Structure 1
Amino acid sequence: MASHLIQGRTVDMPVRVRDAEICSVSYPVRADAARAVIAYSGLDVAEVLPGKAVCMLLFVDYRDGDLDTYHEFGMAFLVRPPGAGMDPQRSEDIHPGTPSLARPKRVGGGGLRDLRQAGVFVHWLPVDQRFTLEAGRTLWGFPKELADIELRLDSPYKRCVLRKDGRLVLDLLVKPGVPVPGATAMTPMDAYTHREGVTRRVPWSLRVRGARMRPGGALIRLGNHPVAKELSELGLPKRALFTTTVSRAEMVFGEAAEI
């Protein structure tokens, strides 16, 4: 079993989260705008509808896990696995200056195929504690930054107020929907990260209990931080595709692999 030394503490792999509460919102955004945002990664967004990608905003209360307790906010995109449905001939002129993974030309796919194969590329991941900040960067290349994350999870509406460097990024309100029945087995998926010129795949498994979902169900107010401007350029605020809340989640994060 691999282990890593973080701030004088040994962290064994895989890293486990035993209890967390998750609220997430999925927004339809223009695929070309989303591609411009994540061009640095060399990955391609999944087009769930022609010309449409999915931007996900989520906030998490980590209540028990190997990286201690903390709050987290995430901005992520559904992406195609590297090389899925692509022409092997690379196209450097689409996004000049991107890494060697620069996006190849598409040769079909999209829709349900993209959705079934999609992974999650984590574009921005502020947290409110320093230990998880260093661990996330070191172990997986997650783009973690320190921020002020105020979560209000005890009321019927779930709310996140996110500030960075004293500036409001966003105020996000989520209304839980109807219960979602289903098995509680660990579901494997892939997360992707990019840090210091390296893109990585992170194997990630999730078990959820108390899941609820609804169409729409979110209200967002953007602030004056640069990330708020980035969200605005993606077309937010707008109606969400759907919102999901999970009252109890367990997660397992494996070793990252460079791609």
Structure 2
Amino acid sequence: MASHLIQGRTVNLPVRVRDATVCSTMFPVRADPARAVIAYSGMDVAEVLPGKAICMLIFVDYRDGDLDTYHEFGVAFLVRQPGSTATAGLSDLRNGAAFIHWLPVNQSFTMEAGREMWGFPKELADIDLRLSSPYKRCIVRKDGRLVIDLLLKPGFPSPRSALPLTAYTHRDGMTRKIGAELSATGVRIRPGGALVRLGNHPVAKELSELGLPKRALLSTTVERAQMSFGPAVNVDA
């Protein structure tokens, strides 16, 4: 069993999350600006329509897991996996994976673990999650500046789901691939369903240059998720 020593604690792989609430929304953005945002990684965005890419905003309340309890916010893009021959359209959507571009958290242990074990771009930020009402809200501040205020409106119930996930990261000049498993209950999905207010932080400016705020394609809320994260594998992007 692979393991890592993080802040004096041994963390074994796969890392397991036993209880979390996951909220996410997807926005169509122009492919060329999105491609420029992740150019440092050597990866390419998936084009679900010609000239259109997908930017995903995600926030998670980790209540029970191997990396303790913490809040997380993520900016990710749907990307073509290395070696893929998919072209713009549904094949790009089916065969795509998530490239994690920015992943602030509010606890140092998970920040260090995420960086060392998977190359996740984790950094510390103030992440205020408000999940007790039907509407799910996340407010992210970094260095005292507002990055984003994101409100999701839960939609129609969806069946329990279990599915594999693939994510890519890039850190210290290396692109990595991470396989994960997700089991979700209390799932709700709706077209649109997201309200976005951007602040004056550089990440907010980056999102603004992609065209946000705008109408979301789809928003999803998961009341209870269980996850497992396997080891990172170095790849040539």
Offset of residue 209 of structure 1: 0.5
Offset of residue 83 of structure 1: 1.8
SS at match of 2:68: coil
List aligned pairs for 1:112-151, cutoff 5 A.
Answer: 112-151=90-129
Per-residue CA deviation, residues 190-212 of structure 1 (Å, 9 max, x unaligned), is: 10000011100011111100110
Candidates 155, 168, 175, aligned match of 1:199: 175
List aligned pairs for 1:166-177, cutoff 5 A.
Answer: 166-177=144-155
Whole-Å separation in 1 of the counterparts to 2:192 and 2:4: 41
User: TM-score if structure 2 supplies the norm length?
Assistant: 0.98
Match of 1:20 in 2: 20
Overall identity of the aligned pairs, in %? 73
Whole-Å separation in 1 of the counterparts to 2:66 and 2:180: 15
Q: Write the letter of the residue equivalent to 1:249.
A: A
Does 1:49 pair with 2:25? no
Match of 1:221 in 2: 197
Q: Which 4+ stretches in 1 moved above 4 angstroms?
A: none
Match of 1:109 in 2: 87
Whole-Å separation in 1 of the counterparts to 2:222 and 2:16: 17
Long gaps (5+) in structure 2? none
Candidates 236, 247, 250, aligned match of 2:223: 247
Offset of residue 110 of structure 1: 1.5
Higher relative strand content: 2
Offset of residue 189 of structure 1: 2.0
Per-residue CA deviation, residues 55-112 of structure 1 (Å, 9 max, x unaligned), is: 0001100000000000000000001111211xxxxxxxxxxxxxxxxxxxxxx61211
List aligned pairs for 1:55-74, cutoff 5 A.
Answer: 55-74=55-74
Cα pair 2:62 2:70 within 8 Å, conserved: yes
Q: Write the letter of the residue equivalent to 2:180.
A: W
Q: Which has the larger radius of gyration?
A: 1
Long gaps (5+) in structure 1? 86-107
Q: Write the letter of the residue equivalent to 1:53.
A: A
SS at match of 2:189: strand
Whole-Å separation in 2 of the counterparts to 1:56 and 1:50: 18
Whole-Å separation in 1 of the counterparts to 2:207 and 2:40: 17
Q: Write the letter of the residue equivalent to 1:84.
A: S
RMSD: 0.8
Aligned residue pairs total 235
